[in-house]
Amino acid sequence: MLTTVDVPTQDGTADARLASPDGGGRHPGVLFFMDAFGVRPRLEEMAQQIADAGYVVLLPNLVYRSGRAPVVDFADLSQPENREKMFAALRPIMSGLTTELALRDIESYVDYLTAQPSVAAGPIGTTGYCMGGALSLRAAALLPDRVAAAASFHGGRLATDAADSPHRLADRISAELYLGHADADHSMPAEQIELLEHSLDAAGVTYGSEVYRGAVHGFTMADTAAYDESATERHWTALLELLDRRLHPAAA
């Protein structure tokens, strides 16, 4: 079941999708961080697929300060000309979502999710795509006692020279991580992958890190030309195994 909900934040109200399994009961929570194209039918499908595996999933509109989702007119992203138009419209919106603002919202999202009657007591998991991959790792570092599993798929800029680069947070993470990288991804080249892994190793973080050969940035997004069916299925296996292992340990 998928519903639209409003999440109170320090700066207003974020619209979000809440996906739950059928049949009632209480289930572990998962916070889903969107890609740059935002909350749309594809991400709703993905959130529901996670929910159908036994989780309650919150998919917030991270750029709610610019309006409710969809914040721009959605187009057929399989066409290059439409992608460019979308990026042109999204760039000023995404540039307004600073790391500081994103971090300020994360605890609000987690508080809302864990307060749901359908969410079981205990830690949650996170997953993120493209830009959401960095936020998934940031959430694990920000709330180490509340996030037990964090995944990033075709995440970009995870280990840069920036002072706030996600790899610099490794020593704050207690969650188990899974990192699914796209092959030949300009936003996450081999040298960044190596630096990220080195930082996680040095901090003693438990993680899996794999490069999906032949897959391009955005490979899980079935509504874009980047979609790769086999890589996406591999991603589902890795994600659900991680969540089951850390949030459903008796069933893993």
Active site residue 185: yes
Residue pair 29/58 in contact (Cβ under 8 Å)? The answer is yes
19, 11, 108, 9: which is closest to 55 by C-alpha?
19
Q: Which of 35, 130, 228, 244 is catalytic?
A: 130
| 130 among known catalytic residues | yes
Catalytic residue among 105, 154, 181, 185: 185
Burial per residue of 182-215, b for 16 or more beta-carbon CB atoms within 10 angstroms, e otherwise:
bbebebbeeebbebbbebbeeeebebeeebbeeb
Per annotation, catalytic residue among 181, 217, 223, 235: 217
φ and ψ at 224, to 5 degrees? -130, 165
> Which tokens sit at 227?
């979609």
The total number of residues shown for the chain amounts to 252
Q: Assess whether 217 carries a catalytic annotation.
A: yes
Give the whole-angstrom CA distance, residue 151 versus residue 10: 26
Q: What would you measure as the largest C-alpha separation in the chain, in angstroms?
A: 49
Residues annotated as catalytic are: 130, 185, 217
